[in-house]
Each structure stands twice: as structure tokens, then as C-alpha cells.
Amino acid sequence: MIKVNRTSVQGSSGKTGSRTNRLSRRQSIWGLVFLSPWLIGFFAFQLLPILATIFLSFTNYNGNVTFKLGNFKFVGFANYTRITTDPNVLQALRVTLKFAAIAVPLGLVVPLLFALLVNSKHLIGRNFFRTLFYLPSVIPVVAGAMIFLGAQRTIRMDQSIACSFSHTGTALVF
């Protein structure tokens, strides 16, 4: 059996774990600070709309009027009972299931086949096709950079033109 000396655990100050408590508290605070943007986004853009949708599903609110507390009436499960008797709901479910049965397998199988084709050793021009598939990811970034650089050049050109028309050689302020 190992015997631990109390003074070696406490350290030189004699305080049991106060430094580690402060450190863990500080780390927890910084963790929450760095998590706060995600938490704010989660509550504002995911949890709050979900809760609002659940709440509004029990009311007669239809979105034609301003959202105020007096503009809707609580109807309970009447909306859900109406869904079971509405013929459009069954048709919408059929169309949705048909779309999912076609789109999901195609959305998985076709990209997988293209990936296998591009990685095939027998494909002539393999690097060309890899580049071709990667271009849609790169083009928006390059276009944004070119627009940004073009805007900077335009600003510099405007300043040089204004500088050439001024008496003192300094740019005019518009």
C-alpha cells in the first residue's frame, strides 16, 4: 500500500487545491467565452425557431398578420387532427417519399462512382479531371479575391486622379 504524505500534496503554501480550482475555473470561463458565439447561434437560429414552430403548431396563426400575442388563438391538437383528414397531406407525403427514394441513393452513388473513376489508374488525364472537379470550390474564392483587389486598384486610381487635379499635389476629399 502506498502512503502519500499530506505536505507533498498540499504544496509549499499549505492550501489544498486552491490553485487548481482557480485554474480550472479560469479555464471553464474561457471555454464558455469561446463557446458563446456557437451557443448564441444555436439558441437564436436553431432552438428558438424549433420551439416557436412547436408553439405555433398549437395555434391558428397563419402568418398573414403581424406576430403579436393577440393575433392567434390556442387551438390545441386541432391542427394535427386536421392533417389526418386532409387529402393534400397524403399526396405531399407520397411526393416527398418518392423524391427521397430517388434523390438520396443518386446523391450517394453518383459521386461515389465519379470518385472511383477519378482515382482509377487506367484513366487518361486523371489530374485534369481532378482539377475539373475541384474548380467549383476554388472559383468563388478566386473571384472574390479578384473583386477585392480590383476595388483596391480602383480606389488607388481615384486617389491618383484626384491628386493630379489638385493644386497642392494632395488628394481632394470628396
Q: Are residues 168 and 146 in the same domain?
A: yes
Tell whether 1 is covered by a domain.
no
pTM of the model: 0.50
- pLDDT for 30 equals 92
DSSP string, 73-104: -B-TTHHHHHHHH-HHHHHHHHHHHHHHHHHH
- Backbone angles phi and psi of 72, in degrees to 5: -145, 160
Q: Could you give the angle at which helices 87-118 and 126-165 cross, rounded to 10 degrees?
A: 100
Q: Is 72 exposed, middle or buried (0-12, 13-18, 19+ CB in 10 A)?
A: middle
Q: Are residues 29 and 84 in the same domain?
A: yes
Supply the range of the domain harboring residue 108. 6-124
- Give me 73's grid cell: 388563438
- Give me 156's grid cell: 488607388
- pLDDT for 77 equals 93
The domain total for the chain is 2
- pLDDT for 13 equals 52
| Residue 37: HSE in the Cβ half-sphere, 13 Å Cα cutoff | 1
**DSSP assignment, residue 60?**
-
Q: Are residues 112 and 129 in the same domain?
A: no
Tell whether 59 is covered by a domain.
yes
pLDDT in tens, 53-101: 999 999 988 888 887 877 888 999 999 999 988 989 999 999 999 999 9
Q: Are residues 131 and 81 in the same domain?
A: no
- pLDDT for 143 equals 87
Q: How far apart are CA 77 and CA 83, in angstroms?
A: 10
Could you list the pLDDT tens digit for every one of the 174 residues in the chain? 565 555 544 445 555 567 778 889 999 999 999 999 999 999 999 999 999 999 999 998 888 888 787 788 899 999 999 998 898 999 999 999 999 999 999 999 999 998 899 899 898 988 998 888 888 888 998 888 888 887 776 666 666 666 666 555 555 454
Q: Are residues 100 and 40 in the same domain?
A: yes
Q: How far apart are CA 18 and CA 5, in angstroms?
A: 18
